Amino acid sequence: MLTRFRTIASRARFMIERRRLDKDMRQEIDAHIESLAEGYRRQGMSADEAYLAARRQFGNIALLRQDIREMNRIPWIEHTIQDVRYAVRLLWRAKAFTTAAVSTLALGIAGTTVMFALIQGVLLRPLPVQEQDRLILSWREAPTAGSAFYPFGDIEFEAVARESQLLESAAGVTRNGVWRAVVSDGGTSSYASVGLITGGFFEVLGAQALLGRRFTLGDDREGAEPVAVISHGYWRRHFGGVPDVIGRRITVNEQPSVIVGVMPSDLDYPRGVEIWRTTRSIPTDGAFGIAAQREVNLIARLRPGATVEQASSELAALDQRLATSAPTDSLRRGFNIVVHPFAEVVIGDVRRTMIALFVAVALVLLIASANVANLLLMRGESRRGELALRAALGAGRGRIAGQVFAESLVLSVIAGIAGFLLAWVALPVLITIVPDGLPRIESIRIDATVAVFFVAVIFVTALLAGIAPGLFSMRGDLVSPLRGSSAAIAGTSTRGRRLLVVGQVALAVMVLAAAGLLIRSVLNLQAIDLGLAAERLVLVDLHLPSAAYAERERRAQFLDQVFTQLEAVPGISAVTPVNVAPFTDRGWDVPRVTAEGQSNDQAASNPSLNLESIHPNYFSTIEAPIVRGRPFSAADRQGTVEVAIVSEDVASRLWPGQNPIGKRLKMGRVEGSGRWLEVVGVAATTRYRTVTTPRPTLYLPAAQFQMTATMLIVRSTASLELLMSVAREGIRAIDPNVMVLSAAPFADYLDRPLGRPRFNAFLIGVFGIAALLLSTLGLYAVMAAHVRQRDREIAVRLALGASGANVRGLVLMEAGRLAGLGALLGVAGAIAGTRFLRGLLFEVQPMDPVMIGGAAVLLIAAAALAAYAPMRRAARGDLVSVLRSQ
């Protein structure tokens, strides 16, 4: 093996120098013969005789040189180089063909490479933690309602970590994701996303700080200096990436904090986090007291060898034991522990989308390759004479096939280079327009793996595009073309081309069906009835300093002043404060609710509720109708009867067929400490919390419950800028410490949940159009060739009295056959494949007959269009000119 390799290496070396060596050798031989001849001359021969004798003694020069040349070459490399050179020359001559083939392939390759870069960055690249497979996240879920979570308390997870045999270490991480906080850095204030964790979080992850240090358990003790660790992205954006950020003092919601560390990029959990703080750093005198600190999910590192399933059952058993030994919380019962691999939670629900998009773009590339294969086959036909001649002159069939393949290789490599440049430019652009919510964006780039993938794509493309033409050039009769018989030309490769076109149509139907389904989903999403009048609603962010507004009365008093101030402004018709921004899928939960008269068992099947704590003018401001009873009023305050409004779906679940007004319910279990609330109204269902599904909602008057007032909803006809300045000044006049940092129309909030489906639909729509165009092109090419091949037959038919319509029908029939068969296969493929899209669809079934059938019909229509020009040409067929051209 080694000697073999050495021989190839030295041959390669000699091959490169071959010209020089050959010249050397000639000189040497000449000198040698000259020396011999000189010897003979000295022996007394004449010059001619001496030369001849010398030649005789030396032997056959030509043969020798041939031998030596053979020694200095590697045949297959030379053949390849020859083939490639020849291919480049040919392609250069056929510029139109080359441009068409290269540009379609380049687009396909670029798309595939970009999608793979996204997949590599988001799904495949390891997280910046140690042994991510051993990391798990755990929380509790109610079996009745998937949306109801119940967190671990910080005390609980310590107990769990202590007693578990399977967990190596454990920590807590906020279950609510990041929350917006006002960060002050000297004079300026801005919003930042804060994620709460316990001291051991980074240690469990095995993540090291890029600068400074990570949190330790000591940071999480009562009385420790409040510290913050910032994300790489926040460090770059907010601090310009300066190293002396360590030790800087900032305030987060007015609480002083020291920055002790910067974490590496791509550490993005909870997603979108900019500042990590410890759970203990949250003051317990806020709206939710100690609960704010305690709502954490468990993050843990499994011991080597332990599986997620084992950990899941162990945690469930531990939870049971802890619950019975310390029955602190009756609410918790009925919730089961769930355990998920950490990486799965981090990546979230984008896996399916990305794979679907990748498959779609790969199919487009496949269609483009089929097109190129088709074009090559067609060229193969027109070059049949040449190929036959080469075969006749002794070229092996392998050589001829290799030569055809070299063409597709050259095309693919050129297309690959163009595609790579395109991907290089497109990837950063794509990343900037990806709507937020794509995790791990920082880790998306073109790296070695992507490069390897890209090279593989080029070769696979070359193979796909070249294999059929290569094989067909090997098969069949190479001799009859030389005889000038055109009948033989129509031979085998026609079937190959038709097969390719049928395949193309089938793939295009699949891509289009998927595109149709996603686009339909987006249209459905956009047509949703939100249950509220989102037009002319503006959200103004409000930041109340938490210490000064710790008391409920103080907040209520301030808000009253704000209403009077703002509602006096012309153009503003209503103002109401809210706790949580709309359509963010976040909010407050009531995991368990009990209607009066229900037993615990009956109550267990009640839906878990979304909780909105609202001011009396909430419904009138967002224009959500009260369908029964009354809205809250100023009379619903502390000390009066505690009241509630429920959404229609809650009323019909809890009191089916009855009038819910006057009925009572309570949060928690029947024996729990919650007080009975009297239902005074029924509100229409809204999608305030989650756009895709209306959530059963319990409304409580803020005066009797809670109002953090992080934003104001304003119904206004004024422009955003005007509203912003009015709100700013009005509020500054009431309290200069309250900050108003931004305002945005409701539509912007609606864009967030709709952004991703829209983006997906846009991408797959583009792929679908590409697939449609490419396969139409393929169909056209095949139809044109079909007509050209049969022109003699057609001309004879016409001459014998067939009408133009007959001939057109003939061509249309052929197109219909190809497209019909392809569409049929495509429909079958779509039915099998679109099931994968289920999670991405909104109010449309994966097997939606309209969408799948529509895709098939579209392709058949495209086939008719593609057949149009060839059809007309056929009908114009003229026997004389056709016969003359033979």
Instruction: By CB under 8 A, name the binding residues for other proteins.
Output: 6-7, 10-11, 14, 24-25, 27-29, 31-32, 34-36, 57-61, 64, 67-68, 71-72
Please name the helix (run of DSSP H) or strand (run of DSSP E) that holds residue 163, with its range, or none: helix 154-163
Q: Whose Cβ is closer to other proteins: residue 63's or residue 448's?
A: 63
Q: CB nearer to other proteins: give 59 or 656.
A: 59
User: Whose structure tokens read 């700013």?
Assistant: 728
Cβ distance 173 to 269 under 8 Å?
yes
Q: Which of 877, 866, 836, 886 is nearest to 359 (CA)?
A: 836
Is 118 buried (19+), middle (13-18) or exposed (0-12) by CB count in 10 A?
Answer: buried
Environment class of residue 88 by beta-carbon count within 10 Å: exposed (0-12), middle (13-18) or buried (19+)? middle
- Residue closest to 462 by CA, chosen among 398, 400, 405: 405
Q: Shortest distance, CB of residue 27 to other proteins, whole angstroms?
A: 8
Instruction: Give 29 or 604: the residue with its C-beta nearer to other proteins.
Output: 29
Which CB atom, from 65 or from 379, has the smaller least distance to other proteins?
Answer: 65
Nearer of residues 24 and 436 to other proteins, judged by Cβ: 24
Minimum Å gap between C-beta 43 and other proteins is 14
Question: Beta strand pairing status for 255-262 and 211-212?
Answer: antiparallel
Q: In whole angstroms, what is the distance from residue 782 CA to residue 374 CA?
A: 8
Residue number, 24 or 344, with CB nearest to other proteins: 24
In order of 10, 394, 402, 490, the CA distances from 73 in angstroms are 9, 20, 19, 40
CA distance 424 to 480: 49
N-terminal to C-terminal alpha carbon distance within the chain: 57
Indicate the residue among 17 and 344 with the shorter CB distance to other proteins.
17
Cβ closest to other proteins, residue 6 vs residue 162: 6
Nearer to other proteins, 59 or 240 (CB): 59
Minimum distance from residue 68 beta carbon to other proteins (Å)? 5
In the complex, the smallest distance separating the C-beta of residue 102 from other proteins, rounded to whole angstroms, is 41
Residue with smaller CB distance to other proteins, 43 or 885: 43
Would you say 746 and 534 are in contact if contact means Cβ atoms under 8 Å apart? yes
Provide the strand spans (E) within 521-596.
537-541, 572-578, 588-590, 593-595
- Whose Cβ is closer to other proteins: residue 28's or residue 436's? 28
Q: 13 near 64, Cβ under 8 Å?
A: no
Q: Which of 193, 195, 214 has the alpha carbon at shortest distance from 203?
A: 214
Tell me the closest approach of the beta carbon of residue 44 to other proteins, in angstroms: 19
Q: Which residue has the tokens 């090291």?
A: 208
**DSSP single-letter state for residue 610:** E
Spatial separation of the C-alpha atoms in residues 846 and 836, rounded to whole Å: 8
Smallest distance, other proteins to C-beta of residue 52, A: 14
Choice between 47 and 64, CB closer to other proteins: 64
Question: Locate tokens 């619903």: which residue?
Answer: 636
Q: How far is the CB of 75 from other proteins (least distance, A)?
A: 16
Residues 6+ apart with CB under 8 A from 55: 33, 61
The CB-of-10 to other proteins minimum distance in angstroms stands at: 5
Give me the least distance between CB of 45 and other proteins, in Å please: 17
CA–CA gap between residue 360 and residue 56 (Å, rounded): 72
Residue 71 Cβ vs other proteins, minimum distance, rounded to whole Å: 5
Are 72 and 15 in contact, with CB atoms under 8 Å apart? Answer: yes
Nearest approach, Cβ of residue 29 and other proteins (Å):
7
Q: Which is nearer to other proteins, 54 or 245 (CB)?
A: 54
DSSP bridge partners of 190: 183
Residue 76 or 433 with smaller CB distance to other proteins: 76
Q: How far is the CB of 348 from other proteins (least distance, A)?
A: 60
- Residue 586 and residue 532: Cα distance in Å, rounded? 18
Cα(208)–Cα(130) distance, integer angstroms = 10
Q: Which amino acid is at 833?
A: G
Tell the smallest beta-carbon distance from residue 80 to other proteins (Å).
Answer: 22
Q: How far is the CB of 58 from other proteins (least distance, A)?
A: 5
Q: Which is nearer to other proteins, 36 or 110 (CB)?
A: 36
Q: What residues have CB less than 8 Å from 764, skipping those under 6 apart? A: 356, 357, 360, 511, 514, 515, 518, 519
Give the chain's radius of gyration (CA, Å): 38
To other proteins, the closest distance from the beta carbon of 57 in angstroms equals 6
- The minimum distance between CB 64 and other proteins, in angstroms, equals 4
Q: How many residues make up the chain in this entry?
A: 886
User: What is the 3-state secondary structure of 625-638?
Assistant: CEEEECCCCCCCCC
CA angle 319, 321, 322 (to 5 degrees): 65
Question: Which C-beta is closer to other proteins: that of 51 or that of 149?
Answer: 51
Shortest Å distance, C-beta 3 to other proteins: 9
Non-local (6+) Cβ contacts of 75 within 8 A are none
Among 538, 533, 534, smallest CA distance to 566 is for: 538
CA 680 – CA 662 distance, rounded (Å): 6
- The 8-class DSSP code of residue 210 comes to S
DSSP label of 219: G
Supply the DSSP symbol for 122. I
**Which residue lies nearer to other proteins by CB, 6 or 221?**
6
User: Token digits for 159?
Assistant: 């107990």
Euclidean distance between CA atoms 263 and 207, whole angstroms: 8
Rounded distance, CA 198 to CA 160, Å? Answer: 14
Contact (Cβ atoms closer than 8 angstroms) between residue 474 and residue 468: no
Pick 13 or 876: Cβ nearer other proteins = 13
